[in-house]
Structure 1
């Protein structure tokens, strides 16, 4: 998300100049200069009107609010720069308008980092929404809406939660930050589904962070899939699964959030609105949670009689979800600064065929340390990363990604280089080499965080592995390249398909079982 507009150095110089230049130095102006000055005043008034309209959009949750508001502020800065050079322009009046709007934006956003009060409620503005002056209006609404912190009263904050917070803030901090970044990009798709069903956003984030780190294509060893990790049978009950086109809607962030919210509300209704027990059911099975609830006489999850009836994974899962949710609501309390994420939704129309891999190379990583592959994959779950997408296809993206695409990927040297890199055949490096002789980037995948299973049998935490799928060998494919694309270990892939080292010979059209592959 774009950062709050700040005063540029030239504008600071203008402010200083305005403070020290006495009005007696005002020069006599011609009719032409007066007309030009009046035009600048009118332009400033229009920009101010645009800014106020943007705050209304932002206050209503419209993602155009931030973009429109920042554009209006930039226009004001341009007017002020022009006013400095224009004889007869009332610079002090224009500066007053500019400073007034900035002050209103700051006031709307609550206490700034150096003005933190003692009241936690005032500290916990949504860290992403408060980043922009227009979006600060929405942050103020959230602060005024007591339901934002309703989650605090729905769960018990106890030493187990504190231990979970410690884990998220130590060895699992990278996963927490990754989860936050991924969530912000998908927030406009997922949060409305929880909001419509009266569930707190913190609960959504906590589940997402623990289940998948916000990676929509996550698949557990037991077969749970998607950002919210639904098992196939449970998914079907809530409208998820194969849609007839070959796509499993468990991977769709909006549909998964809708199903997750419906599932949680179903659990809450039968478990007397006990969030901890509902989460235990989400992880360890709804039947078990209901049996425990009834057998314990309606006591909560933290009652020893109930607690001991859940498996170790569920005992870990419940406090870890609540801990992630608590940090989401109270970042400053724990010294957490979440990354600023430019997540304004935008559409991107391909002007030339390209895969998500090719787009990732072409876009670069300006504004995002890790690049934009995860953004494109999360927002376009129907496309495999290596599939060439036809020109004219409209992809979901962010405003930043769309801007980088127009700049670098519609054509030119960067686009050509990206295409050459993703279509390069490593086998061509050796003269007369048989297929499969050269493998580049054959590395052992790094295990992901432990995932959990919606209403499936709990499993010990293990590295994730995707369900077995098939791949049809294309012309020029090598086993090393296929393994790299799909996150496989080359030896495991070869053994599963009866391929012999060192050549691992393939033939075009051959069907491979993608055993143990993570992508």
Structure 2
């Protein structure tokens, strides 16, 4: 049985008695004593409601389903009312109610009381049915799963969000300064959805969680690389990626493959749900701060403490304290945008393909396709995301097949198979930037003379070998690759890597 954060009635009564005996008749002290009395009375209701809910669970286990549901519903209704009053009392600790409420809900998930009584619709989740006025395009697609994960039990998560200060603050962040990031993440995800969502669906996990993690981790940028080296749309560290099959094949780091990254992320989440007794917040925290660190703070199995409990929430890093609410908030907005005056764009994201009729790189195709059908940003990010194995600066040969949104198939035939736009794109792409080289392209000097063979270039974020070769002005991709032992066709490089740039004949 889960360890619950319950609060002793005797202790609360003693505290109330002490406050009543010592409170002065008037002045600031009297107001403080009144606030303390109100807080302690609310804490006592929390304790009583917790015991009533647990008694309902016992009834459910003995087969008295209808009576159990009535008791548990009454306990939760009163707990909500007490929590609402707590928000209006200055001295009352709302987080105490969040932790207690979350713990009780987890205790009830999976019990017979979870099964709706015949004719009772109160147990149906909004995610399964869709509510009037809800505008999320995926609400009705979310699976009804009997998993003890709070996120899947929509009304309960909604109650937690309504009470939870950190999650409410995260909702405000997504809806204000990070709204452009949220919109970009949603658009990027729509083009990747056909690859990523099936992997989550097969693993029995909610799409909202996938979007929440994607939005916070990379914003849907498949080639994102963090300062610590976490890579891909779901930001796997190298060692963790290897653990879940994200190896390097033919020079391509499969952390950048959206389908495989989603599969690995789902496997990680399910692994950690088993360790943390299906406590989703702890799993999200472990994904950010490391499962070992989270286990040391929260424990594991049925004895694991809740993420919102003071001993856990107060001991984790500030980064993780911010990360978990941001993921939950993005997931919640994904399911219920209209509750927050939010409207996600409608994206025609059906995948298609083109077969090149002339050599072209992703960069050239982006110039050629212009802003047809995507007036905001053009197509560079989308084409990169859909073809993660390709160097965007390297020309692909005639006959090469590229994945594109289906609506671009006709645009390619019309504007890019021949004519002035592909010619302009090729002209721009073949331009060479003359010396002086960038600051990072440094030439080591020995006493008396410069040695060209000692020139080095420190790879920066976003660099490709083709771009470095063009900037060098002398050597091609193959010469630089040979000097550094890089293998084609993808010639993998990473930020911070020192490359030898040989002096090649002009």
* TM bucket, shorter chain: 0.5 to 0.7
Q: CA RMSD in A?
A: 3.3
**Per-residue displacement from partner, 1:218-252 (whole Å, max 9, x unpaired)?**
11111110000001111111000212x00000000
**Structure 1 CA distance, aligned partners of 2:286 and 2:471?**
48
SS of the residue corresponding to residue 374 of structure 1 reads helix
Asked whether the 8 Å contact 1:217–1:381 carries over to 2, the reply is yes
Pairing of 1:81-480 with structure 2 (within 5 A)? 121-127=131-137, 141-142=140-141, 150=152, 152=154, 155=157, 156-157=160-161, 158-243=164-249, 245-294=250-299, 297-368=303-374, 369-427=376-434, 436-437=435-436, 466=461, 474=469, 477-478=472-473
SS of the residue corresponding to residue 353 of structure 2 reads strand
Asked whether the 8 Å contact 1:215–1:226 carries over to 2, the reply is yes
Over 3 Å counting, the alpha-carbon distance change for 1:154 and 1:260 in structure 2 is farther
Over 3 Å counting, the alpha-carbon distance change for 1:469 and 1:343 in structure 2 is closer
**Structure 2 CA distance, aligned partners of 1:121 and 1:163?**
24
**Structure 2 CA distance, aligned partners of 1:282 and 1:219?**
16
Structure 1 runs not aligned, ≥5 long: 1-118, 130-138, 428-435, 440-464, 483-492, 500-505, 511-519
**Structure 2 CA distance, aligned partners of 1:282 and 1:149?**
16
Asked whether the 8 Å contact 1:252–1:381 carries over to 2, the reply is yes
Over 3 Å counting, the alpha-carbon distance change for 1:362 and 1:472 in structure 2 is closer
Residue 274 of structure 1 and its aligned partner are, at CA, apart by: 0.6
Moved more, 272-281 or 415-424: 415-424
**Structure 2 CA distance, aligned partners of 1:357 and 1:478?**
19
**Structure 2 CA distance, aligned partners of 1:291 and 1:495?**
35
**Structure 2 CA distance, aligned partners of 1:473 and 1:297?**
54
Residue 288 of structure 1 and its aligned partner are, at CA, apart by: 1.4
Moved more, 304-313 or 470-479: 470-479
**Structure 1 CA distance, aligned partners of 2:286 and 2:294?**
5
Asked whether the 8 Å contact 2:286–2:294 carries over to 1, the reply is yes
Asked whether the 8 Å contact 1:355–1:387 carries over to 2, the reply is yes
Asked whether the 8 Å contact 2:353–2:402 carries over to 1, the reply is yes
Residue 120 of structure 1 and its aligned partner are, at CA, apart by: 6.7
Q: Greater relative contact order (Cα 8 A, min sep 6): structure 1 or 2?
A: 1
**Per-residue displacement from partner, 1:451-486 (whole Å, max 9, x unpaired)?**
xxxxxxxxxxxxxx749986785467559xx9xxxx
Residue 407 of structure 1 and its aligned partner are, at CA, apart by: 1.3
**Structure 1 CA distance, aligned partners of 2:353 and 2:463?**
33
Asked whether the 8 Å contact 2:196–2:258 carries over to 1, the reply is yes
SS of the residue corresponding to residue 123 of structure 1 reads coil
Residue 162 of structure 1 and its aligned partner are, at CA, apart by: 0.9
Residue 292 of structure 1 and its aligned partner are, at CA, apart by: 1.9
Over 3 Å counting, the alpha-carbon distance change for 1:495 and 1:343 in structure 2 is closer
Over 3 Å counting, the alpha-carbon distance change for 1:297 and 1:143 in structure 2 is closer
What TM-score, normalized to structure 2? 0.60
Structure 2 runs not aligned, ≥5 long: 1-128, 439-459, 478-494
**Structure 2 CA distance, aligned partners of 1:176 and 1:474?**
36
SS of the residue corresponding to residue 396 of structure 1 reads strand
Over 3 Å counting, the alpha-carbon distance change for 1:172 and 1:303 in structure 2 is same
Asked whether the 8 Å contact 1:164–1:320 carries over to 2, the reply is yes
Residue 276 of structure 1 and its aligned partner are, at CA, apart by: 0.4
**Structure 2 CA distance, aligned partners of 1:495 and 1:380?**
24
Asked whether the 8 Å contact 2:170–2:325 carries over to 1, the reply is yes
**Structure 2 CA distance, aligned partners of 1:416 and 1:146?**
53
Residue 509 of structure 1 and its aligned partner are, at CA, apart by: 8.6
What TM-score, normalized to structure 1? 0.58
Over 3 Å counting, the alpha-carbon distance change for 1:367 and 1:150 in structure 2 is same
**Structure 1 CA distance, aligned partners of 2:153 and 2:286?**
18
Asked whether the 8 Å contact 1:125–1:142 carries over to 2, the reply is no
**Structure 2 CA distance, aligned partners of 1:466 and 1:374?**
15
**Structure 2 CA distance, aligned partners of 1:473 and 1:367?**
32
SS of the residue corresponding to residue 403 of structure 2 reads strand
